[in-house]
Amino acid sequence: MNTAATGGLNRLTLAGSTFVRACRGQAVPHTPVWFMRQAGRSLPEYRELRAGVRMLESCRRPDLVTEITMQPVRRHGVDAAILFSDIMVPLDAAGVDLDIVAGTGPVVAEPVRTMADLDRVRPLDPGAVSYVGDAVGLLLRELKATPLIGFAGAPFTLASYLVEGGPSRNHTKTKALMHGDPELWHALLARLAEITLTFLKVQVEAGVAAVQLFDSWVGALSEADYRRYVLPHSQAVLSGLADAGIPRIHFGVGTGLLLPAMAEAGADVVGVDWRTPLDAAAAQVPGKSVQGNLDPAVLFAPWEVVEREVRRILDEGRAAPGHVFNLGHGVLPETDPTVLTRVVELVHEVSKR
């Protein structure tokens, strides 16, 4: 059976899963839970597997992608898996000269600052990321009843790396370009939206049960700037998947004031970081399910504190049509994996209907 057929059957089967039902605001037997950056980081078996293998190389190997994606599913018993990859994978495949440097993050050799620079960012050929579809096909056979979430970086966050040349605290060059050369800015984000949509469609066609669009750094913007310079491009990505028939999750960090505008971009589920209570977030995005939002640092506190916070978040999440429990950002590398397992068990136990 080909991958597309397998993916279609898998999606029909998983439509009734707890995770997909929660994303759609339907009744569930318990609140589903998964963790952002769950594919490794805190797991010793992940560090052992990745030893000596660079990040981009590990993302290109379907065997490694499959094993790394499966590790936290086996370890924690989560309700969904997130495809192991990196937001820079499609840019690398589109011809951008970049590397992911340990301890630093993505580094771009020649930043995009002019229209001529933009010519180096080619449209993405789906065949250039065929290994992603291959990995999804392998994972569908391994995961069986566990939904697989595909993902990609949102246009603004990708643009911030391309313009800055690497990680940035203040996004100074990015904002200067955005305000100073709006023609180039919109051309850049339109190109990145096209690349992102192509990358997600490869995953959708291979059979993922949901997708998440990460806009990690968009919280650096005001609502007015978000609406003018970012919203149309995130909307182009999410609306391009409207006919896929799967839940679309949209997440950013520090986006408490942007949540209504982000909801307008077209996602079915709005991810919320730890700064905004879920009931307050739900009031800002009526009709949408929410995802979140335990502070990753709380996992280092005594268990009674962790339990109290998990219970609070579950209570707040009931204000939304659906709630997917998650952290308010990614798992920190020093996190004790046994605490994550206990959190999954607690969420399931407390939220049982």
DSSP assignment of 116-132:
HHHTTSPPPPGGGGHHH
What lies within 8 Å, CB to CB, of 213 at 6+ separation is: 151, 152, 153, 154, 196, 200, 234, 237, 238, 248, 249, 250, 251, 267
Q: For the chain, percent helix, then strand, then coil, each to nearest 5? A: 55, 10, 35
Domain that holds residue 269: 3-351
CATH number at residue 263: 3.20.20.210
Contact 110, 58 (CB under 8 A): no
Please give the helix or strand (H or E) that residue 51 lies within, else none: none
- Mind listing the pLDDT tens digit of every residue in the chain (353 residues)? 344 545 554 666 688 999 999 999 999 999 999 999 865 678 999 999 999 999 999 999 999 999 999 999 999 999 999 999 999 999 999 999 999 988 888 999 999 999 999 999 999 999 999 999 999 999 999 999 999 999 999 999 999 999 999 999 999 999 999 999 999 999 999 999 999 999 999 999 999 999 999 999 999 999 999 999 999 999 999 999 999 999 999 999 999 999 999 999 999 999 999 999 999 999 999 999 999 999 999 999 999 999 999 999 999 999 999 999 999 999 999 999 999 999 999 999 999 96
What are the strands of the beta sheet with 210-215, ordered from one edge?
81-82, 148-153, 210-215, 248-252, 269-271, 289-294, 323-327
What pLDDT does residue 208 have? 97
What pLDDT does residue 305 have? 98
Integer CA distances (angstroms), 22 to 98, 149, 151, 246, 292, in order: 37, 14, 18, 12, 13
Pairing of strands 105-108, 98-101: antiparallel
What pLDDT does residue 12 have? 61
What pLDDT does residue 40 have? 63
Main-chain dihedrals φ then ψ at residue 148, nearest 5 degrees: -110, 130
Beta-bridge partner residues of 270: 250, 290
What pLDDT does residue 39 have? 59
What pLDDT does residue 1 have? 37
Residues marked active site are found at 37, 41, 50, 86, 161
What pLDDT does residue 14 have? 84
Count of domains for the chain: 1
